[in-house]
A and B are shown apart, each in its own frame.
Chain A
Amino acid sequence: MSVFFRGLACYCPSMRGSGGLIGLAALAPLLWLGIVSPAASKSLAASAPDRRAQAPAIAVTDDGSIHAIWFDKGAVGEADKKGEKVKGTHHSHQAFADLHYARWTPGTSQFTPSTRVNPDPGSVWGFSISRAVIATDDSDRIHIVYPGNAMSPTSGKSVASSFYTRSTDGGNAFDAPTQLNADPEDDLSSLIMGGLAQAQVFAGMAVSEQGSVHAFWLDTRGMTSSMRSALYYRRSDDGGAHFADEVRLQENEQCPCCQVSAIAQGTSSLFVSARKISDDNIRTPAVMHSDDGGSTFSSPVETGGAPWQLEGCPLKLTAMATTPSLVHTLVHNGAEDPPGLLYASASQTGGAFQPPEKIHPEADISDSPALASIGNTLLAVWHAKAGGPRQIYYRFSLDGGKHFQPVQRLETGDAQVGYPAAAASPDGRFVIAWQADEVIRVTHLEAPSAAMAAR
C-alpha cells in the first residue's frame, strides 16, 4: 500500500516544497482543538494542474483501486467551447465539455494520466451542476452515466441526453456510449429556453453487486408551462451490455433541475430519489424503493424538513447510503434557517423517515452532500461555511446513523474547495474526492474505532 495514503499523516499544501508530510505530534494541538482530523491521509491530484476540472465522482473496485471521473472544461486560460456551431447545422450546443477518467491503484503514488471517456471531443453537457455518476460491481466493471449533447432527429435542434458507458478492463478502455433515453420529438425551446429543445439529464445510477445497472434521469418529455419533468428509468441485467426499454417511472411532477440519485443494496434492493414539486412550488425530496430489482417501485416517501417553496433551480441532489437495516439521506433544504443539510433515515422495509436533523448545526450554510457506508459505519461529507471560507467537513456514525461523531474539517490547504464525493473502499476505509480550485483531489479517510470514538 502506498505511503501516500497510509498512516496518521496530513498533507499540507503550504509545505509542498519540503515534502508536506508532518507527524501526528506536530498536529496534536490542532487535533485536540478538533480543527483537523487525524483520520485523513495525504491527498493526491487526480486531474492535471493545467486543466479546468469540475464535479468529481468516484468509485472503488474490490482491489482498492480508485476510479475518478470529472468534467474537463479545457485548458486553463482557454476560452470555453460552449456555443460552437454543431457541424452541418445552424445550431450550437449549450456546453462543450469532456468527461475525464483517472485511476489510482494501491501501491502507486499517483493517479494515471486522465483519459477522455466520451469518444467525440466536446460532446459532454458538462457543468458543475450536472454531475456524471460512476459505480462498480463485483466483476470490477466500471459503469458511468453522463450528460451529453445530442440532436433531436425530428426538431433538428440541440437537446441534452443521458449516456451510459462501461469499462470491463479496469478503466483502460470504455465502450462506445449508449444513449439511454429515446430521442425526444417535441420542440420545447420556448419553454426551456437556454438553447435546448429538450433535456433528458441530471441522471442517477445504481449498480448491484452482480452488475445489474439501473439508470434514472429527469426528462422534459411531456413538460408543460408548469415546468415539471418526468422521471425515467432503464435497466440492464447483464452488466451494462444491453438495456431494457425505458420506463416512465413518474409523471411530470419532478423538479427539472434538482438531480436524481440512486443506490443499490444486495441483489434486488434499489432506492431512487428525486425532488417532487407539489402545490405552490414546494420542492420536496422523496425516495422510492424497489425490492424486486426495479420491476416495481414504492410511492415516493418524503425525507422531511421545512417546505421549500421555490420557482427556481435548486440543483440539489439527495445523497443516499444504506446500512444493514436503514436507508440514509442527506439533502440541502433552503427553507431551513439557516439553509443547510438535513440528515434523515428510514427503515428499508418502508415507512416514514425519522424527523430530519441538521448534520452541521454550527454552519452558516452547508450543501453538496455525499454519503458512503461500510456495514454500520456511515460517512457523511459536505461543504460548508462555519465562520470562514467554504471548507470540506465530515462526520462518522459508527452505529448505523443513531449517533454521529463530532463534525470534522478535512485539511485541504488554502485552495477554494467544494463539491465532495465519497465512496467506500473494500479495505474498510473511505475515499473522498473534491474540487480544489480547478483540480480534483482525492484522499483516504479512516473511520475512528469504536473505542477511540467513545473517548
Chain B
Amino acid sequence: MVTRLIPLLLALFLAHGALAGDDHDPAVLVPMDRNALIDELSASEGRVVLVNLWATWCTPCLREIPDLLALEAELPGDEFRLLAVSMDDAYSKDWVSAFKAKHFPTLRSFINAELDMDTLVSSIDPVWNETLPTSYVLNREGEVVQKIQGKKPIAFFRDQLTAAGL
C-alpha cells in the first residue's frame, strides 16, 4: 500500500514543504491529501472559508466557478477564503492544470491526492455522498456550519457566508 503511494507521497512532499496557502500561484494545481486539507483549514481559522469541490467532468461545477471567483474578488482576503479542490485524479494533474489555466486562470485550486474522493472529503464530512459540486461553509472557528450540494446562485452563497459570520 505504502509502496504504491510513494510517487504521490513524493509529489505531496515536494509540493508541501509548507502550507500552500491561498496566495500560491494560480497556475500551480497543488496536490492535497487529507492532512493537507486539515492543515489548510486550521491555518484559515479566523476567516470564513468556502471549501468548493469541483471536477472537470462536472458541468454544474464548472458553471459555478465564475460566481465563486466573483465572491472571492468582492470579499476581503483577511475575512474570507475560497478553498477550491479539484476531485479529478491527481494522476491527471497536468491535464487539469492546463484545463484550469484555459478556463479559470485566476482560480487557486488544489487537487485531490488521495486514492479516491471520499478519503479526502471525509476529513471534514464523514458522510459525504460523492456528489458534485459540494461546498462547505466554515465559520471563523473552523467549524463546518453549512453543506451545499448542487450549483447555487451567487446570492445563495452570499447568504450562507453572512450567516456564517462574514
The chain A residues found within 8 Å of chain B, CB to CB, are 49, 52, 73-74, 76-80, 82-83, 92, 94, 127-129, 191-195, 227, 256-257, 281, 309-316, 332, 334, 338-339, 364-365, 367, 385, 390, 415-416, 418, 437-438
Contacts and interface: CB of A to CB of B under 8 A. Distances in A.
B91 interface: yes
B59 A310 contact: no
Interface in B79-137: 89, 91-95, 98-99, 103, 115-116, 118-119, 122, 126-134
Given A339-B129, A390-B118, 20 more contacts: A73-B91, A79-B91, A82-B89, A82-B92, A83-B92, A83-B99, A194-B57, A194-B99, A195-B99, A227-B60, A311-B151, A312-B149, A313-B60, A313-B133, A315-B131, A315-B132, A334-B129, A334-B131, A415-B1, A437-B4
23 contacts: A52-B91, A77-B4, A77-B6, A78-B91, A79-B93, A80-B92, A82-B89, A82-B95, A129-B57, A192-B59, A193-B59, A194-B56, A194-B99, A257-B57, A281-B150, A311-B60, A311-B150, A311-B151, A311-B152, A313-B55, A313-B57, A365-B129, A438-B4
A359 to B, nearest CB: 15
Contacts of B129: 332, 334, 339, 365, 367
Nearest to B62: A193
A92 B95 contact: yes
A193 B61 CA distance: 10
Contacts of B150: 281, 309-312
Contact of B127 (A127, A309, A310, A365): A365
Most A C-beta atoms less than 10 A away, residue of B6, B95, B132, B149: B95
B76 to A, nearest CB: 29
A78 B56 CA distance: 20
A-B pairs, 3 with minimum CB distance: A83-B95, A80-B91, A77-B7
Interface string B30-73: 00000000000000000000000001111111110000000000
A77 B9 CA distance: 10
A309 B92 CA distance: 31
Contacts of A338: 127
Interface residues of B, number: 40
A82 B95 CA distance: 6
Most A C-beta atoms less than 10 A away, residue of B115, B127, B130: B130
A94 B93 CA distance: 12
A37 to B, nearest CB: 23
Contact of A127 (B1, B57, B103, B115): B57
A364 B127 contact: yes
B67 to A, nearest CB: 13
A385 B131 contact: no
Given A193-B103, A437-B4, A339 B92 contact: no
Contacts of A194: 56-59, 62, 99
A313 B89 CA distance: 17
A432 to B, nearest CB: 19
A298 to B, nearest CB: 29
B116 A339 contact: no
Contacts of A281: 150
Contacts of B115: 416, 437-438
B98 to A, nearest CB: 7
A334 B60 contact: no
A242 to B, nearest CB: 33
Contacts of A191: 59
A310 B58 contact: no
Given A83-B98, A332-B129, A193 B7 contact: no
Contacts of B56: 94, 194-195
A416 to B, nearest CB: 6
Contacts of B95: 80, 82-83, 92
Contacts of A415: 1
A263 B83 CA distance: 42
A321 to B, nearest CB: 23
A439 to B, nearest CB: 9
